[in-house]
């Protein structure tokens, strides 16, 4: 068995709450950065596909980024695969199986 940590993701309308079983660290860092609680580390300058402009964003918090870079980040879509369980399902076993398959290159 795997010790899978989950955390809650609440949609924008605060209607749905989801447990995330994989990608927790990436999502946590992403949302912490968007809330202006982190600054970026030293990065190579980024060039936006939409404008062709290059920006040095090293060391900046989200609010300090150029507006077009903020817009590019805000337009990024995060896709979730939602598992729905029936009342007789062994949720822990299903979650462990999905986690194992995701982290061992197998399809879900």
Q: What is the pLDDT of residues 25-46, one digit of tens each?
A: 888 888 899 999 999 999 999 9
Question: In this predicted structure, what is the pLDDT of residue 3?
Answer: 43
**Residue 107 lies inside a defined structural domain of this protein:** no
**Residue 26 lies inside a defined structural domain of this protein:** yes
Residue linked to tokens 């949720």: 91
Residues in CB range of 69: below 8 A, 6 or more apart: 46, 48, 55, 57
The pair of three-digit structure tokens given for residue 43, joined into one six-digit string: 């990065």
**Residue 66 lies inside a defined structural domain of this protein:** yes
**Residue 108 lies inside a defined structural domain of this protein:** no
User: What is this structure's pTM?
Assistant: 0.63
Q: What is the pLDDT of residues 83-103, one digit of tens each?
A: 777 888 888 888 778 778 777
What domain range is 37 assigned to? 7-102
How many other C-beta atoms lie within 10 A of the C-beta of residue 33? 17
What is the enclosing helix (H) or strand (E) of 102?
Answer: helix 91-102
**Residue 1 lies inside a defined structural domain of this protein:** no
**Residue 30 lies inside a defined structural domain of this protein:** yes
Q: How many domains does the chain have?
A: 1
């Amino acid at each position: 068995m795997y010790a899978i940590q989950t955390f809650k993701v609440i949609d924008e309308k605060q209607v749905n709450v989801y447990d995330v079983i994989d990608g927790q660290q990436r999502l946590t860092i992403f949302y912490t950065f968007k809330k202006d609680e982190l600054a970026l580390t030293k990065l190579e300058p980024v060039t936006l596909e939409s404008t062709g402009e290059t920006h040095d964003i090293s060391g900046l918090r989200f609010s300090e980024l150029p507006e077009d870079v903020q817009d590019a980040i805000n337009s990024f879509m995060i896709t979730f695969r939602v598992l729905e369980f029936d009342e007789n399902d062994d949720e822990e076993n299903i979650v462990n199986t999905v986690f194992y398959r995701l982290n061992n290159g197998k399809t879900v």
